[in-house]
Amino acid sequence: GAVVSQHPSRVICKSGTSVKIECRSLDFQATTMFWYRQFPKQSLMLMATSNEGSKATYEQGVEKDKFLINHASLTLSTLTVTSAHPEDSSFYICSARSPTGNRNNEQFFGPGTRLTVL
Amino acid sequence: AQKITQTQPGMFVQEKEAVTLDCTYDTSDQSYGLFWYKQPSSGEMIFLIYQGSYDEQNATEGRYSLNFQKARKSANLVISASQLGDSAMYFCAMREDTGGFKTIFGAGTRLFVKA
C-alpha cells in the first residue's frame, strides 16, 4: 500500500516557539493532504484540507494564522504551529490522497507527530 | 452536516469470540464511503475495511466484516475469532464524495480482548 511519512515523530518545544511538521507521500503523488489533531483518548478532528498549489481549507474553529499549512509539491505538505502554547500539545496526524489508482478514494495516514509544548 | 456515532466507549470480548462494534452515520449525500480503522497505542492508523455506499454486498477482509445496513445508516464492524492483539482503539469513519473527499471520524471504541 501507499506510504506516508511524518517528521518529526515527536517534538518538545518551549511555549512561544514555532514548530514545523512535515508530511510526505513516499511512493505516490498526493493531490490532497489532510491534517488532523487528536487529544488523548479522543477522536481525530480534521483541521484542514490541503491541495497542492492552492491555499488550505480550514475547518470551522481552526485558526489559520496559528496553524500554517503549505502544500508546495505533490509529495510534501507542512503544518507549522506558530507561537505554540501548552494547549497546542496534541497528536498531529496527516493523511494523503491520490486520485489515481485509488479505488476506494482512500486516505493513507502518516504515523503521527506528538507535540508537547512546555 | 455529516455525523458519525459510536455509542460504545469500551467493549470487552473473550479471546476467540466474535465482537460487534457499532457505528451509525448521518449524511444527505448519496455517494459516500465508510471505513474502519484500528489505532493501537503507538498511534498509527491501520486501515481495516471499506464499504462504498453503492456496494450491495457487505465488505469482508479476513477476520473483519462490515454489516452495512443502508436504510438504517449503520455500518457495524464484526471481528471474528478475537485475538489478544486486537486490543486497541477502533474508529468508524465516513468519507464524503463531494467537496473534497473529507473524512470524519467517530469518537471511537476501545476494545479489550481477555485471555
pLDDT means over runs of 10, chain B (115 residues): 89 97 94 94 93 93 96 97 97 85 92 97
DSSP string, B10-22: EEEEETTS-EEE-
Which of A36, A40, A117 minimizes the C-alpha distance to A69? A36
Instruction: Give yes or no for residue A52 having a pLDDT over 80.
Output: yes
What is the pLDDT at residue B102? 86
Whether residues A91 and B43 touch (CB distance < 8 A) is answered with yes
Amino acid at B60: T
Average pLDDT value for residue range A31-36: 92
Whether residues B50 and A104 touch (CB distance < 8 A) is answered with yes
pLDDT tens per residue, range A71-113: 889 899 999 999 999 999 999 999 998 766 566 667 899 999 9
Least CB–CB distance from B97: residue in A34, A105, A109: A105
What is the pLDDT at residue A100? 66
pLDDT above 70 as % of chain A:
93
Omega before residue A86 within 30° of 0, cis:
no
Whether residues A49 and B45 touch (CB distance < 8 A) is answered with no
What is the pLDDT at residue B87? 97
What is the pLDDT at residue A107? 85
Average pLDDT value for residue range A49-76: 91
Q: Which residues of A80-102 are buried (b: 16+ CB within 10 A; e: fewer)?
A: ebeebeeebbbbbbbbbbbeeee
Measured on CA atoms in the order A59, B33, A23, A116, is the torsion positive or negative? positive
- Mutation target to probe the A interface, by most A beta carbons within 10 A, among B66, B89, B103 is B103
Whether residues B91 and A44 touch (CB distance < 8 A) is answered with yes
pLDDT above 90 as % of chain A:
72
What is the pLDDT at residue B19? 98
Tell me the three cell numbers of residue B51: 464499504
Minimum distance, in Å, between the CA of residue A27 and any CA atom of chain B = 18
d(CA A53, CA B4): 31
Amino acid at A5: S
What is the pLDDT at residue A97? 86
